[in-house]
Amino acid sequence: MKKYWRSLSELKGNLKVESEPEFSITGIPEDEVKGTGKTNRRDFLKLLGFGVGYATLAASCETPVNKAIPYLIKPDDITPGIANYYASTFFDGNDYCSILVKTREGRPIKLEGNELSGLTQGGTSARVQASVLNLYDSARFLPDYRFDNADLIVGFNADFLGNWISPIEFTKQYSKKRKLDKSNPGMSKHVQFESTMTLTGSNADYRIPIKPSDEGALLVELYNNIAAKAGKETLSGGKAIVNIDSLADELWAKKGKSLVVCGTNNSNNQYLVNAINQLLENYGKTVDINSPLLHKLSNDSEVKAIVDEMNAGKVSAMFFYNVNPAYNYPETSKFVEGIKKVALTVSFASTKDETSKLCKYILPDNNYLESWGDAEPKTGLYSLVQPTIQKLFDTRQAQDGLLKWIGADKGYYSYLQNYWETEIYPKQNTLTDFNSFWNKSLHDGVFETTNGLSIFEFNFEGIADAAKNVKNTGSGLELVIYENIGIGNGTYANNPWLQELPDPVSKVCWDNYLAVSYNYANEKGLELGDLVNVNGKFELPVLIQPGQADETVAIAMGYGRTNAGLAADNVGQNAFTLINNTGKNKSYAISDVKIEKVVGNHKLALTQEYHTMHGRDLIRETTLDEYVKNPSAGNEAHLHAEEHSVTLYPKPEFKGHHWGLAIDLNACTGCSACVIACQAENNVPVIGRDEVINRRIMHWMRIDRYYSEHAENPDVLYMPIMCQHCDNAPCENVCPVAATPHSDEGLNQMAYNRCIGTRYCMNNCPYRVRRFNWYQFTNNEKYSFTDDINLSKMVLNPDVLVRTRGVVEKCTLCVQRIQEGKLNAKKENRLLRDGEIKPACLQSCAADAIIFGDLNDKESNIAKAYDNERNYHLLEELHTLPSVGYFTKVKNKTKDDFIA
Amino acid sequence: MYDVKVRGSLIEGNKSYHQISEDISKPVESRAPNWWFIAMSISTVMLIAGIWAGFVTISQGIGTWGLNNSVAWGWGIINFVWWIGIGHAGTAFSIFLLILRQKWRTSINRAAEAMTVFAVISAGIFPMIHMGRIWLAFYIMPYPNSRGPLWVNFNSPLFWDVVAISTYLMASATFWYVGMIPDFATIRDRAKKTGNVVREFVYDLLSFGWDGSTRTWLRFETLAAILGGLTAPLVISVHSIVSMDFATSIMPGWHTTIFPPYFVIGAIFSGFGMVLTLMIIIRKLYKFQDYVTKGHLDAIGRILTFISLIMATAYITEIFIAWYSGSEYEFFTFFKNRITGDYYWAFYAMFICNAVIPQLFWIKKIRSNITIVFIISIFINIGMWFERYVIVITSLSKDYLPSAWADYSPTFVEVMLYVGTIGLFLVGVLGFFKFIPMFASSEIKGILKPTTDSND
Amino acid sequence: MEKNIIGIYNDEMLVAPAINQLRDKNVEVQDVYTPFPVFEIIEAMKLKTRFPYFAFAFGVIGFSLTFWFMYWTAVESYPLNIGGKPSLSLSFVVILFVMVINITVISSLIAFFIRVKKGPGSKAKYVADGINDDKFVVLINKTKTMTDDDSAKISEILRDSGAVDVQEN
């Protein structure tokens, strides 16, 4: 293991002097902090000039690091204690996000969304947030969708808010249509047909559980219904598994403003859905083919053909970049056999994985935060990847390797620049010299063009065949293999933050499980954690999933890895081996799966053990028609509490700022990006499965998920909960050593160094938001879940204290960011602007569900939010006077059930 | 006023003053009986187990206990309150009965006070050991410092606990010790006569030069009265303050004004129960039936019956108010999480042991059967333990937000810690038996004959 | 060296009359040593103590000290916003109550030991055998003006009133 550097000064001693410099000297001028829209550009060679005085620099490639020496001369652009932000792109082969990388003393420690991106507009997801940790780890032609133009959304097994194609972008769009404007109250209606309870399905107004084998026939039925209205031929093969007549009527009524999407990996089903959208005149409005999405363009049959060729001995050399077939190719053994017959196998994996283990050569790629690159997630939208830290290990960017082998005389950086100069720079005409264009693009991270209208004609020719070929019979128990929010396809299985992220729906972490329906469990006598054997392949614990369609079960992919690292290895089971790879498209829905109960029970780590509100008025909800009649619908208790609010003492006054937060429960989808963002920002430790089972998870932000009473197809509600910063805090009163007083700006403070750990405050908090360091969770090998604890500590945020054993901690409303914001405003001699300070949770939210600001500023969004009739405070009848507000959840459903 | 004959004579056996000196000094002067050595060994082993548990807790963390982010207090605090409750007996005996001029207290008050001191020491271990960072425990003291100067939070019931319990320990120990001084003098003089140099030296030191001077006796009695008068309100206030740990909180099932009197009565209840347990053992093993007569035991039995009725009333009041208040959280806590629900077994253990079983004392035959009395006295303390368990665990485990509901069960470390405090208590009490006169001989001599002053 | 006459009694009821008799003869009883306090003897010796007044004074001092300390620390020196409550809090009452008792106990204890001139390490005054057991000993100091005759008379009174033994030195 190479020694890695911890500060720029150490770096200076370790810099390799090569013939092709990794980073060039550019002339980007000095800039201020992100808030004013400018960033600093770090220049290593410029620093090198300063560092020449350090004798440690040698001409040879490797220079031993002697000591970390603090700066004698401060480099121009780096001020210890102030963060530098760099625009870059997150693209891991699956998900795309335009990001700003926050670095401190030369280390990336946090990723924020880039608001300049027209696509993701500042949003992020849990995986994006967590990917910063991976840096420190010792591994077709799709249309784009416009959910913000759709009044009626119908999803068929499409988890578009969680994992399908471009979830960050879709969440941003979707939430725009879920927020309510009192003067013009309207919101989209979302109907979801699916087998297992996905994040998207849990947010739907109406959710209908169906079997995977039912989807095709239902799609044909819907097509026929719409086709009849459009005067087109109907097809055979349709079956009204569920009566969709009224849905079809509504879709027809909302022509051009509706959207039907399907997430099933079957071209016939997709064809049908596209045809339906065409008939509904959605193309060009909610289906955007002008700038199609460019993710996930792989071709299943082609991959199958390659594996066959490998086994036939026809392949002499293979290079693996951003793929891991030894883990996730369905017929793993076939692949493993085949690769033995390939003479030259090279893996570019940046972290060890199952495939690299089988390769002859491993040439580790840089982590994306150390790399140059670009991406075009959607036609016309370009973004750049730039390194934000000097390579931590002896890796090389894969593209540099390839260029070297073809004998090119320049490195990837020049190649990239050249490409941009010739292909992309000409697409604009505001900047007249390439260097300025290049610098601006690097700085912004994105360059977006608008495409001209493309002429598009829908071809209905194959539709009858497609209808015939949809899978409309299934037998026995049907298994759905899906991606969950945290682990996804398994690339991030070795990321402990993601392993410990409780699944938004099931609240399980550190494991996958067999999700079964309530009825199935009763029938088979299955309880939580009971072990079952799946198709003779492996054993999994059972989880009873309310809303799981009867006669279906589900397993999340991405687990059961064997060569990924400490956090991933042997956690859960590998569901990729169950995928049906016989057809033209890989099928993630499998018929006739054999489930057999075996002896034993595996305790699943759940962060929540009681799943209904027990009749308590915690998440207040109403329906759209009630809201239109009366904006206070569902929120009568708030008026009651305000009226009857009595106090023995005078209400505390806040003369300067009074910080407040509000969460729009209509916008929040439960995606949990905020949970990880908070963890990254505030150095929240990971504790491992056993301690989670002991109900000691450390997340400062948690998302409560409640089901309504019917277990077969419940309503699902989410509520993100963090410290409520009560002005009448019950926790403050009981601390004997005054470790948790109230600030004069309305924050409940937590003085870690004063806390002696009596835990009285934890008992007295009715929201249960306080966390205790039961063991030494930080700076402790036992709880690092990474192979090199010193390396993983580099992700820590130096603005936030790391807590020791025996101390209580909780959300601080990112007080370090508040202070930073105030200081910046002070330095610039101006007032703070509303929305300038963004706590980590707010910043990461793709749905823009969180509002934060100064309640004393009558014009601020937060002050207006508190005046909203939908606003209430959790447990307000206890008179804790919280500084966090919630907007009632308004569902676009009538009191009647959908199927009526 | 009572008729002495109805309850039996205060001291039986027609003793002379010298005989009393003899009887009471005997255990100190003779070799401890065999059972004492066995009991001392067992208690020491228990104490060592507790020390081990404390060491594990401090070196590894409170994570070695079964607590979690929802139930952050468990056996540690249950045992703390249990021990403090037991500790109230001594003070109640000595002082209340002194004020009420119940002369029969004199046979029991010394042992009861001893019990108080050791119970309070055992109790005091828990607030210390349950701290996450016990090495910073001094933060709780408001001393001048350079951190502001940062003082303490006077609003916190935990701070009140620190003040109250240290005061209580100090006052009880003082009152107990001061009362012993004349008896130490007796032993010192006897040791001098028999030529036992070591004993004479030790008890000479302990007796502070006591000589029996009436001038000193006058001030001594005054001091005793003052200390008694001061310590009496402590009986009420200390356990009220301990109850405020819960009463000032907003947890459902905790937030109730009944707690201060409820806890105080409960403390006297458990304390008297423990006194009964100990006195029955003492009189049997040391053959002190003449000093602790059936009349004494009968009197305590009747008090316990009465208090048990009060406890029953308190439980029923709580349950009634939980319904009458209209608070869904209170209703849930009592009706769904105590009377029924996951913890019903603890609730019924509490109710039956405290409110039902002691009612058997109405029956004279039962009240005079010493074995049954002994068993019932143990049940009382078991019941009181469950009462604290019900209060602490049920309210924390299922409070306002169902998403946070979590269960709790103690770990081996926590159980050993409890065992250790029992060991500590027993070591103390056994040591008391051996090295300190079990009865206040000077007081007993004082009540031997009815005097013109007696209001008895 | 002190010169004393002591009368040893078995029965405490006989002592008070003896003391009265001696007073009639203008003889001052220095002290009576008993195994337990005898109210009649205390009365006969006309002993008084101002101890309770001292205790009260300690209480008042304790109250003022505690209140001042809490006020100064919580209201003046470093006031904190704790749960929105005012700095001058009703919680003071609880602590005052207990601290008054605390300070009074300690002060009274110390005052007691100072006043009776006994404490850890003090040597007991040996007067006669059986003190602290079952004997009641009257001690009369032989003043300078007393004559042998007076001593004899005193011894007689003691013997007549029921002393089982009279000693002189």
pLDDT for B445 equals 87
A753 to chain B: closest CA residue: B136
Contact indicator for A512, A505 with CB cutoff of 8 Å? no
Is the CB of A807 less than 8 angstroms away from the CB of B133?
yes
Quickly tell me which residue has 């309880």 as its tokens: A527
Out of B153, B207, B443, the one facing C124 most closely (by C-beta) is B207
Hey, is the C-beta of A738 within 8 angstroms of any chain C C-beta? yes
Q: Which residues of chain C fall short of a pLDDT of 70?
A: none
Place of tokens 């539709």: A463
Average pLDDT of A312-317? 92
Instruction: Check which CATH number belongs to the domain holding C133 and give it.
Output: 3.30.70
Count interface pairs A-C at CB distance under 8 A. 33
Over the stretch A463-487, which tens digit does the pLDDT of each residue have? 888 888 876 666 789 999 999 999 9
Interchain contact C152–B (C-beta under 8 A) = no
**Dihedral sign computed on CA atoms, order A422, A427, A429, A435:** negative
Count of helices and strands (H, E) across chain B: 18, 0
- CATH 2.60.40.10 for the B11-447 domain, yes or no: no
Instruction: Please answer yes or no on whether C119 and B209 come within 8 Å at the CB atom.
Output: yes
Q: Is the pLDDT of residue A677 over 50?
A: yes
Mean pLDDT, to the nearest integer, of A604-618?
95
Q: Which of A542-551, A584-593, B142-151 has the lowest mean pLDDT?
A: A584-593
- Please give the single-letter amino acid code of residue B156: S
Question: Could you say which of A613, A768, A772 has the minimum Cβ distance to residue B404?
Answer: A768
Inter-chain touch A728–C83, beta carbons under 8 Å: yes
**Interchain proximity B17–C115, CB inside 8 Å:** no
> Nearest residue of B to residue C109 by CA position?
B223
Number of structural domains in chain C: 2
Q: What is the pTM of this model?
A: 0.88
Structure tokens at A198: 């996905």
Q: Which amino acid is at A440?
A: K
Interface touch C85/A649, C-beta < 8 Å: yes
Among all chains, which residue has been given the structure tokens 């009471």? B24
Alpha-carbon gap, residue B237 to B215, rounded angstroms:
33
Q: C-alpha angle A28/A116/A148, rounded to 5°?
A: 170
Q: Using one digit for the tens of pLDDT, what is the confidence trace for A552-570?
A: 999 999 999 998 888 999 8
Does C83 reach chain A within 8 Å, measured CB to CB?
yes
Are residues C99 and B163, on separate chains, in Cβ contact within 8 Å? Answer: yes
Assign A794 to helix, strand or coil: helix
Distance (Å, rounded) from C-alpha A463 to C-alpha A235? Answer: 8
Chain A nearest-CA residue for B136: A756
Strand C4-9 to C136-141 pairing? antiparallel
Whether residues C77 and B149 touch (CB distance < 8 A) is answered with yes
> What is d(CA B45, CA B51) in angstroms, rounded to the nearest whole number?
10
Go through chain C and tell me how many residues it has: 169
pLDDT band at A142 (very low <50, low <70, confident <90, very high): low
To the nearest whole Å, the CA of B402 is away from the closest chain A CA by: 6
- pLDDT tens for A272-314 read 999 999 999 998 889 887 777 776 667 788 888 999 999 999 9
What is the distance between the alpha carbons of residues C114 and C108, in angstroms, rounded to a whole number? 10
**Domain A142-293 -> CATH class:** alpha beta
**Would you give the distance in Å from CA A658 to the centre of its chain?**
31
Q: Where are the alpha helices (DSSP H) in B332-411?
A: 344-351, 364-368, 370-389, 395-397
Does A19 have pLDDT greater than 70? no
A382-397 tens-digit pLDDT: 989 998 888 888 889 9
Determine contact: C141 vs chain B, CB below 8 A. no
Helices (H), A289-411: 300-311, 325-328, 332-340, 354-358, 398-405
Q: Name the minimum distance, in Å, from the CA of A20 to any CA of chain B.
A: 52
In Å, what is the CA distance from A40 to each residue of A36, A100, A439, A752, B60? Answer: 12, 12, 11, 33, 45
Q: Is the pLDDT of residue B111 over 50?
A: yes
Beta carbon pairs, B and C, within 8 Å? 195
pLDDT for A522: 95
Secondary structure of residue A102 in the 3-state scheme: strand
Higher pLDDT, A187 or A467: A187
Q: Do A758 and B132 touch (CB under 8 A)?
A: yes
Task: Output the CATH code of domain A474-606.
Answer: 2.40.40.20
Whether A817 and A843 have beta carbons less than 8 Å apart is answered as no
CB-based contact, C84 to chain B, within 8 Å: no
Per-residue pLDDT averaged across B339-355, rounded?
96
pLDDT for position B23 = 86
Q: Can you tell me the mean pLDDT for B316-322?
A: 96
Which among A167, A455, A114, A423 is positioned nearest to A290, based on CA atoms? Answer: A455
Tell me the two tokens of residue B191: 């040791």
Q: Give B-chain residues touching C87 at CB under 8 angstroms.
A: none
List the single residue in C with minimal CA-CA distance to A730.
C83
Whole-angstrom distance, CA of residue A663 vs CA of residue A660: 10
Chain A (804-843) residues lying within 8 Å, Cβ to Cβ, of chain B: 804-808
Rounded to 5 degrees, what are φ and ψ at A893?
A: -140, 150
Q: Is the pLDDT of residue A210 over 60?
A: yes
Q: How far apart are CA A539 and CA B143, in angstroms?
A: 61
Q: Distance (Å) from the C-alpha of residue C98 to the closest C-alpha of chain A? A: 17
By C-alpha distance, the chain B residue nearest A702 is B403
Q: How far is B65 from chain C (nearest CA, A)?
A: 30
Separation of alpha carbons A852 and A883, rounded Å? 10
The CA distance from C108 to the nearest CA of chain A, in Å, is: 29
Q: What is the pLDDT of residue A896?
A: 57
* Omega before residue C35 within 30° of 0, cis: no
Contact of B69 with A762, CB cutoff 8 Å: yes
Q: Indicate the pLDDT class of residue A587, thresholds 50, 70 and 90.
A: confident
Q: Where are the domains of chain B?
A: 11-447
User: Region B407-425: what's the mean pLDDT?
Assistant: 97
Question: Residues 138..167 of B with a Cβ closer than 8 Å to C: which?
Answer: 142, 148-155, 159-160, 163-164, 166-167
Of B150, B164, B446, the CB nearest to C98: B164
Task: Assess contact for A222 and A215: CB atoms under 8 A.
Answer: no
The answer to whether A700 faces chain B, any CB pair under 8 Å, is: no
The segment with the largest mean pLDDT, out of B16-20, B80-84, C121-125, is: B80-84
Mutate: best of C78, C85, C94, partner A, most A CBs <10 A: C85
Which of A652, A738, A743 lies nearest to residue C84, judging by beta carbons? A652
Vertex A619: Cα angle to A616 and A620 (nearest 5): 95
Q: If you count DSSP H runs as helices and E runs as strands, how many of each does chain A have, helices first? A: 28, 34
Q: Average pLDDT, stretch A673-692?
A: 97
**Selected residues 215-234 of chain B with any CB under 8 Å from a CB in chain C:** 215-223, 226-227, 230-231, 233-234
pLDDT (tens digit per residue) in A776-798:
999 999 998 988 888 889 999 99
The pLDDT tens digits for A35-68 are 233 323 333 333 333 333 232 233 323 333 333 3
Chain A residues with CB under 8 Å of C81 CB are: 652, 732, 741-744
**What value does the mean pLDDT take over residues B197-221?**
92
* Cβ–Cβ < 8 Å for B116, B90: yes
If you measure CA to CA, which chain B residue comes closest to A728? B250
What is the pLDDT, as a whole number, of residue B289? 83
Name every chain B residue with its beta carbon within 8 A of the beta carbon of A766: 250-251, 399-401
Query: Is there a contact between B208 and C113 if contact means CB atoms under 8 Å apart?
Result: yes
Q: Collapsing DSSP states into helix, strand and coil, what is residue A887?
A: strand
Quote the domain boundaries for residue C35: 4-48+124-168
A723 and B CB contact within 8 Å: no
A650 contacts C83? CB cut-off 8 A: no
Distance of CA A421 to the CA centre of its chain: 33
Return the partners of chain A (3 or more C-beta pairs < 8 Å): B, C
Any idea where the domains of chain A sit in the sequence?
Answer: 8-104+368-448, 142-293, 474-606, 621-646+655-891
Task: Evaluate if residue A667 carries a pLDDT over 70.
Answer: yes
Cross-strand pairs, A514: A542
CATH topology of domain A621-646+655-891: Alpha-Beta Plaits (3.30.70)
